[in-house]
Amino acid sequence: MKTQWLTVPLLALCAALPVWAAECPAVLQGALPELRGKGQVDLCERYGGKPLVVINTASYCGFAPQFEGLEATYKEYHGQGLEMLGVPSNDFKQEDADSEKTAKVCYANYGVTFTMTKEQAVRGKDAIPLFVELARQSSAPKWNFYKYVIDRQGKVIASFSSLTKPDDPAFRAAIERALGR
């Protein structure tokens, strides 16, 4: 009798797991290491059902000053539900191998408050699943500071090149659309 008492709840829990995974869009499957600390960012848990901007970044890129505009955009729209995720990458040979130096650039130099991960591959055969799915839905980043706007259902509704600044009207319009306006 005791075995049955424990088995039924465990079976119910196990049966529910695939449903939860099926509800999480492909772009949000998995976890990434936080830039600061030893924790993991569970993408589905953190961003599921929320509009999201994903940016591949690099500390030593000429576009790094866009961190300021991205932070301003995040602050402007975060209260309305927008999330932002920065993913440093050395795919274009402009990121430091030392995570602490990357963190200094992001947090101390540019005042970033949105979530940043440790360095990840964003292109080619070594690309992490997040960027494989972003490329499938749109295109792979062609350089650092490529921006993806993702709606609440996990669909890329727009992507923008490095040349697109965070205050660009088309970028802002895509964010507004992701917010459901």
Q: Which residues are part of the catalytic machinery?
A: 61
Q: CA-to-CA distance for 174 and 31, rounded, in angstroms?
A: 25
Q: CA-to-CA distance for 51 and 155, rounded, in angstroms?
A: 9
Cα dist from 148 to 20, 56, 100, 109, whole Å: 25, 9, 26, 24
The tokens of 95 are what?
A: 């990121």
Strand (E) or helix (H) holding 86: strand 83-88
Q: CA-to-CA distance for 26 and 145, rounded, in angstroms?
A: 22
